[in-house]
Amino acid sequence: MNFEQSVFVIGMGYVGLPVSIELAKVGYSVVGFDSSSEKIRDLGNGYSHVEGAASADIRQLLASGQLEFSDNPSRVSECSIVIIAVPTPLDRSNIPDLSSVTSACRSISSFLRKGTLIINESTSYPGTLREIIRPILDNGLTDSGVQYACSPERVDPGSKNFGFRNTPRLVAGLTQESVTRAYELYSKFVEEVIQVSSPEVAELAKLLENSFRQVNIALVNQLVPYCKELNIDIREVIDAASSKPYGFMRFLPGAGVGGHCIPIDPLYLSWKAKQAGIHLSLIHAADQVNKEMPTYVAKRLIELADLTYGTKALLLGVTYKPGVSDLRETPAKEIANYLTSEGIEVFWNDPLVNEFESVKKWNPSILVQGAIVVTAQPGLDIHSVVGSGVPVLDCTGTFKGIKGVSQL
């Protein structure tokens, strides 16, 4: 491997694997690292576990020698650039959990060569690169010769409009040289790369992007019960407001928020602000509104279908967004939990999902008394459910106008 043209990507998940593929396609020699030997084995055999990362691409790049996979952290010594792309979830107390980031850094710290550029793509709060990553990798040295930059990931799973190449990327670093190197790297496979003044700006921008979405989704979600009281269609209201050509941006209500960003990133921001003695009350309020939606829609279904103890309910579409099989933070989980707590037996149907929690998969031979569309999954069979006379609550607005379907 050519050291200068080799990249070591840590974390073969929703971010790291697609990044590895894109880098390999533009000519870099890429080592995809993950601590899971099972995952590395499957990838080495050409099987992708990530939507948006095609197995055919992996096999082609493996055959060409541009891409390989390893669970050996010492191989970082062969690469001049390291990209950290590991999960940054919340713990049970809704506190940022950076254990994957710190573990990744510790696993490679003793193998780094001088001149290596570290780029963090993992979403986190301002100061992560400077205060968490750098101290671990510098090993207490005042000048380790290692350089540091960040480029927070921007991935929209299942999107047909935006991918790696046409989604602008932010880059920042602790030195001008690190910024320049990061800029050059991303410019090879991203159409627009934007340099900002510090890693903290880039880190905070990522959190702002998703806090913006959280707050605006919460606003329309909070209006749902009021619109029901007034017998007004909330989506018609949004359509009407959207006719204004300035000063308004369209957000839609739903059963809750899910995925790896909206339910999590804003709480990284509020937690970090709290360390500085600042309470971001709007973010906390928005988080609370959106967390209450699964319970609200479950109650709406109970009311609509007159569900009682021992009856059966069906969840239609259980992923957090249509067109993907991703179940991370899906509101369907909390809807199922609430219905189950009320003694209602829950089933699910989703053409893109194989398993959902411990909930039983539905088949047409199972008679249910009520159904709820959580996610308007392509290929979802709603007509056979409605045709059997089962009342349906549609949280997505997709099936408006169908007899027997009520709107959120």
Instruction: Tell me if 82 sits within 8 A of 134, measured CB to CB.
Output: no
Say which amino acid occupies 179: V
Q: Which long-range contacts (CB under 8 A, 24 or more apart) does 226-233 make?
A: 233/407
Helix (H, G, I), strand (E, B) or coil at 292: helix
Q: Catalytic site residue 261? A: yes
Taking alpha carbons only, the member of 151, 115, 134 closest to residue 9 is 151
Retrieve residue 171's tokens. 């880059």
Picking from 284, 221, 223, the residue whose alpha carbon sits closest to that of residue 94 is: 284
Parallel, antiparallel or unpaired: strands 147-150 and 169-173: antiparallel
Q: DSSP letters along 2-37, please?
A: -GGGEEEEE--STTHHHHHHHHHHTT-EEEEE-S-H
Other C-beta atoms within 10 Å of 3: how many? Answer: 14
Q: What tokens appear for 68 in the block?
A: 């390989």
Residue 35: other Cβ atoms inside 10 A: 16
Residue 172, phi then psi, degrees to nearest 5: -155, 160
For residue 33, list its beta bridge partners.
Answer: 10, 70
Q: For residue 302, give the nearest of 293, 292, 311, 289 by alpha carbon.
A: 311
Report the SS3 class of residue 173. strand
Rounded to whole angstroms, how far apart are CA atoms 172 and 372?
45
Dist. CA 173–CA 235, nearest whole Å: 43
How many angstroms separate the most distant Cα atoms in the chain?
72
Residue 79 is encoded by which pair of tokens? 């690469």
Q: Which amino acid is at 4?
A: E
Of 79, 105, 227, 261, the catalytic one is 261
Catalytically annotated residues: 261
